Chain A
């Protein structure tokens, strides 16, 4: 029999909860879900900050079951596989989500920093990093 480890929730660093809340209250985030913000935080942590930090004190943020069919959940799993360089990690949700949680911790703080430092120019800033990434994708994958 194959042994699998399952997770009920994805966690965030407890002290970052207020940051998540404050970002979600911004008008452009209206209608967005926790998993969308969390995934963006993971991506920023992985590709911009490029730093993993394990959680000190965790706080439940996303219910896995409720989001199982979402594209964001697919991406989180793909990221964990890419990071681990082994598809077998798919059996162990705990290990998989620990990777995403560690990148989300550094990523959400970066996103908050962007908002704090350039309230007026946040659009330009995000547009710029996205365009860079888009162009990089173009040259690498298309």
Chain B
């Protein structure tokens, strides 16, 4: 949609006629790029993975050689839990974003990664070399062949990075350009404690990647992660989104300015301003004391008071610096503490899954072992007596009869001989190896957890130590008190000095005038500014809501379509209690359940994953079928069946996936990892790893 900027400025200026100049309105509404920025960007493209190769070496010396070809449409990776499915996905994420979330022990195993992918008709390859302590990464155009040899001269190198942060930056630039993404911004308070600054933050490629990679454990967090509605807007790419966002940021800054101006009287009383104030006063007092010294030499201990005053101020600032430093350390320690706690809970979760798998395998060992012994116990027996008439049976085993023949009815007994002993023995051996591996892992995890607990205890100790130190806060109070006393004495002396001569009287009255003026400036200044800012703010608010309604005029139909798609999919996934999906003008999504609208956070725990799946899938469908939006048309879904395993859901999920494969298989790519073997056969391209086997 074309928006005439001059006309728009006119529209807004008319609304505020008489209160603000048109020129000022134009300045306020000007942003760093065109209002039509959204409609001028590249049309949507598609990302498709072609192949992934990973080589490395496990800590026990086993070589890792994983290779997988990806196809358009649905790709299913079936393997038991804890066998490396998620690691494969995290490696893909690392290669595409440079953001690492691979488990530490697994990451140590990896040496080289080669990921081939296409964007529309262009081929690209990413080479990661993780052998050294620093990451070395190349993004080249063309198809990567050998993983071990990378011949730089043979390729057109798009990006060459020798550190993780350089790689992240480069990949962000690359994908932002390819998919026409730009950074919607928002404001946030400066993280430094005393700072009154407001900072600008923008959406990054790893954040957008959350709309591509649905991790197994994040289904309960906000849709698309923390910056949900922003990413949602980027993905939909609706016209006017850019100016609305930039004006909103401007508005935030304005509100902040306004608050600052209005509170500036209060600010004077804040500790930092208080110091300044004290210094000013001191300067004046010094002036006076000097004057008194001129007049009379018997006021010598005024110098002593001044010195004391000066020392107290110095002491105060040292204490203040200490407080700031210890708060910083406190924050760092808390960050460390929560990281350790997260590792502990992850390790606990893995330990409990490991325990379950180990128990399962141990049970199976006993079951099969007992079966083998029983079968041996009852082997080579002749039928001696008829169980029906209780008479002896004379007929003996025919030496020519086949082995797999029932000794009583002589019918062939396939099912028992289908599994001969050797088969069982090897199955048993497999299980025993699995159990011992799982036990080793369990022990490792226990050790790891113990180490983490020690670390946690260490951090807690440090935190307690700092907490004890917090008494320095209390040191400030007596200092202030002393200061006030000294000040009072100085004032007292001034009063005495007044008696000394008229000169001093004049000084005092001059000081009073000065102080009065200072007070006047403080009292008056904010009023003027805040009035001006107030009108600016109203102008911006009006302009934003005008743009929002213009956006809705054109995009309303698209949002309704998306609501319908999401509703249909949610219901197909088994959430029939949801009867309506609503997206409001600020892009919040609400679900109608039992007559009332609820947000995503209020959807029942066991149903969030479905709501989320429905959103992801709908956004892509909207894009393909209505040519709206900027999603890369590629999804990774890790463990969609985990913990929501009711059979209705599994059936619905299979249907939804099949339906998408049939309709859109050649226009999108979805990679799914699951331990749920009932999903076998749903996808055309499937790779199932046998039970208890590792993906790599």
Decide if A and B are genuine partners.
Answer: no
Chain A residues packing against B (C-beta within 8 Å):
none
Chain B residues packing against A (C-beta within 8 Å):
none
